[in-house]
């Protein structure tokens, strides 16, 4: 009776070892897949950062020029806006 229990326990232990080994293999496979995905994402991130830097360098002068034009337009329009505000206030007072 004791030998039967020992044999059964031994078989169960062996089955558990096989199951554990299979699960370890699956886990290793999943880990390798995720490591591969991480590597791909890191490469894409590096490429995106590089593209952003290139765009930043190429667009920076255009942005400076646009800002300069905007300031010039605002300065040239400002006196007219002030005149319009003055006339509005004057007309309200006169009415």
| Alpha helix segments (H runs only) across the chain | 2-94
Residue 85 domain flag: no
Residue 65 domain flag: yes
Residue 4 domain flag: yes
Query: What are 60's two structure tokens?
Result: 């920076």
**Residue 41 dihedral angles phi and psi, to the nearest 5°:** -65, -40
With tokens 């326990």, the residue in question is 9
Checking if the pLDDT of 95 tops 60, the result is no
Checking if the pLDDT of 66 tops 90, the result is no
pTM (two decimals): 0.54
**Residues of the domain holding 62:** 1-70
Q: In this predicted structure, what is the pLDDT of residue 2?
A: 60
CA distances from 29 to 23, 35, 36, 58 (A): 10, 10, 11, 44
User: How many domains are contained in the chain?
Assistant: 1
Q: pLDDT digit string (tens) for 9-35?
A: 999 999 999 999 999 999 999 999 999
Residue 80 domain flag: no
Residue 9 domain flag: yes
């Amino acid at each position: 009776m004791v030998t039967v229990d020992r044999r059964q326990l031994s078989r169960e232990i062996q089955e558990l070892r096989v199951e554990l080994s299979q699960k370890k293999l699956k886990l290793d496979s999943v880990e390798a897949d995720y490591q591969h995905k991480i590597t791909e994402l890191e490469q894409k991130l590096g490429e995106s950062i590089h593209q952003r830097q290139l765009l930043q360098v190429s667009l920076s002068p255009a942005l400076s020029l646009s800002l300069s034009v905007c300031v010039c337009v605002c300065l040239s329009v400002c006196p007219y806006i002030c005149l319009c505000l003055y006339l509005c206030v004057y007309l309200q007072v006169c009415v």
